[in-house]
Amino acid sequence: MRKLRWVILPVCLFVCLCCAGLWAQGAPQVFVSTGTAGPIYSIDTASGTVSSLIANPGADFEGMVVAPYNVGQSNTDESTHYLVYVCDTANNKVWRFDPSNPAGLEKIYDNNGALTKPQCGRITATGDLVVSSTVAGSGLWTFSGVTNLALGSGLQTPTALVGVSGSSQGVAQKNTGDLLVVDNTNGKVLRTPLVPAATSTFISGLSQPFGIARRGDGGIFVDTQGNKPSLLQYNAQGTGPTSCMTFKNNTPNFMQMALDNTLYVAVAANNNGTVRSINTNTCQQNQSYSIPQPAIGIALSPAMTASQSVTASNGTAIVNFGFTAFELNQIVGACSGSVSVGLASPAAINTLILNSGVPATPGVNLGLDGFEAMFSTANLNGCAAGNATSGVNNFQLSNLLSAGVVNPEIVVCTEPNVNPTNCQPQTTTLAQIGGWPIGGYLPNDLTTGGAKSLRCRIFMANAMPTGAQGQEAGTFCGFQSPLSNTFTGAVNSWNLALAAKITDGKSIPVKIKMASANGSCQNGPYITDATAILAVAQILDTKGNDVFVPIGLVSNGSSGLGQPLFKGDGNQQYLFNWDSSSCIMPSGVTQVCPKGTYSVSVLFLTNNTAGGAQSIYGAQTTLVTLK
């Protein structure tokens, strides 16, 4: 579920940015394995220098993945402290090593379980290592919490996740955090949620597929090793295939995508190999790096960023990196420069949270192999937003957060060259007044969100209740007439057929109640001092096609607090009169809401609900159709 938040920040000024496209930066360092040849190499992509990291005769190093190392980190350098995991497929082993000390190569699996022929792999939001198996029928396996295990912790025993009828090769993360796994035997790409584990066909009709990677906007790339080895490109729904590149007399293997959508492909020839960097927006090759053995596996250093140059305009604009994004509103003044986003380990985030002084835990991005997305706005200049005299600012950010983050909050830190320990938590310095609901920049994928600040580092955290007024636990009593309740009881599931049908352009009363912990929705008592906000987005057009149009809300009638805050109506319930004749579109234009289906979500800022169907990912969302 996506909750993109509107935030008023009285300290830092904001801007409306019109993005000019991602800068091609790629990854500064690429690790490449060579299968039965043995060595693992490191490539400096700026100089093209190739260095041997590990020489292990007899090993079959193939699939690789970089993961955060969340042990013993006390500094705030977000891009350091990581390990590389590599699968020794033929020998039924899994290893990990610190690239700064490759002599410390450590075995975490040595044929001490039912897993055989492993292929690495992905890292989940909870720090689990997911590996596939080249043995038909074996499928996916998980090593629980490996990113929180200190080096030297010994062998780990994996747990079977889901079976795959054929030989499983590449694994990628879908936008929701679901996994995509290549079924090499049956020429398919399968999709599976982590819990409960089950597979469904996502792409079919492939000729010996092997590697897979997801672009920031959800586009899927699969390489095939059949009669005409090639790189194929699909949209976020796994349809609309096009040929991106062919590999004459070479065999493409594993792939990894950098934050700026540079794709790195390991390519094997008869006696040597190359690593190709490809601009996935144009399918043009940027660079080719030669190594003395066939290239099999790829892993990318997390010390990479993606940047967008920006210019100012009045109104509203979205700066979208795909895996994370933000929007700025109510813009006044001029602005120039750029915004960048990078990876941060949960250990580094924990250090920053401790500096903030507010109890919270990291909010790991589902699509970033155990890392968080951290924004930097250090390179914005001459920017002002909102009411120029008051310094009030309005902004939103999107991230892919798991359902375990039941109370996503914003932490804003000054840049390290200003004061690396000055982290200002959202609960004390920001006044949040909005959010975006389900849907997302990527159709059919439910995601989540946060916020950002000028010349600051910004990230999400799972905040803990503080016991302040309105924080008591309660039960959400559903939406009152004229809206209907479409939530099915299963997280992220709604029944469209039950959606209220309302003529567009009308005032739509959105009314809710919250029963106290010792009461009931039928008889009360009710919580009357909660703080709640409304979030609305169009998710289907009149033909039922997936869209995502976040709507800025205007209220009328008896509600009129700082929008989109609900107002107590004196009848133990909360009210927001949504004026559907005055919807603020992403372009900044105010108009009658387009006809179609909308998600309508309530977010309680006072932590009144948590977990399962009572979380922000379930019961507090319903569907409404404007006709």
| E strand or H helix at 540 | strand 532-540
Residue 326 has pLDDT above 70, yes or no: no
Q: Considering the chain, what is the average pLDDT of its residues?
A: 79
- For residue 5, the model assigns a pLDDT of 29
- Tell me the pLDDT tens digit for each residue of 23-56: 557 999 999 999 999 999 999 999 999 999 999 9
Segment (H or E) for 574: strand 574-579
Highest mean pLDDT among 82-91, 166-175, 349-358, 460-469: 82-91
118 pLDDT higher than 60: yes
Q: What distance in Å separates the CA atoms of residue 369 and residue 480, rounded to the nearest whole number?
A: 41
pLDDT of amino acid 389: 42
**Three-state helix/strand/coil letters over 200-214:** EEEECCCCCEEEEEE
Per-residue pLDDT averaged across 214-240, rounded?
91
Is pLDDT at 126 greater than 80 in this prediction?
yes
Side chain identity at 335, as an amino acid letter? C
Query: Would you list the DSSP string of 451-506?
Result: ---TTEEEEEEEEPP---TT---EEEEEEPTTS---B-SSTT-B-GGG-EEE-TTS
Which of 492, 501, 469 is CA-nearest to residue 617? 492
**Band (165; pLDDT cuts 50, 70, 90):** very high
Q: How far is 387 from 217, CA to CA, in rounded Å?
A: 33
Topology (CATH) of 26-303: Neuraminidase (2.120.10)
Q: How many helices (H) and strands (E) does the chain have?
A: 2, 51
Please, which residues bridge with residue 22 across strands? 308
Question: Residue 588: its pLDDT value, please?
Answer: 62
The predicted pLDDT at position 65 comes to 98
Which residue would you say has higher pLDDT here, 386 or 85? Answer: 85
Confidence of residue 80 (pLDDT cuts 50, 70, 90): low
Residue 255 has pLDDT above 80, yes or no: yes
364 pLDDT more than 50: yes
- Compute, in degrees rounded to 10, the torsion defined by CA atoms 88, 94, 98, 100: -10
More confident residue, 627 or 442: 627
Most confident of 10-14, 223-227, 318-322, 534-538: 223-227
Domain locations along the chain: 7-21+306-463, 26-303, 474-626
| Confidence at 458, pLDDT banded by 50, 70, 90 | low
Q: Which of 157-171, 375-389, 394-408, 581-595 has the highest mean pLDDT?
A: 157-171
Q: Say which range, 19-28, 231-240, 287-296, has the weakest mean pLDDT.
A: 19-28
Residue 169 has which token pair?
């090769």
Q: Rounded distance, CA 233 to CA 181, Å? A: 16
Q: How confident is the model at residue 4 (pLDDT cuts 50, 70, 90)?
A: very low
Neighbours of 280 (CB within 10 A): 21
- What is the predicted pLDDT for the residue at 178? 83
Assign 157 a pLDDT band (cuts: 50, 70, 90): very high
- As a whole number of angstroms, the longest Cα–Cα distance in the chain is 79
- For residue 469, pLDDT over 90 is answered with no
Question: Tell me: the pLDDT tens digits for 483-516?
Answer: 999 988 876 678 999 999 999 999 999 999 999 8
R_g over Cα of the chain = 25
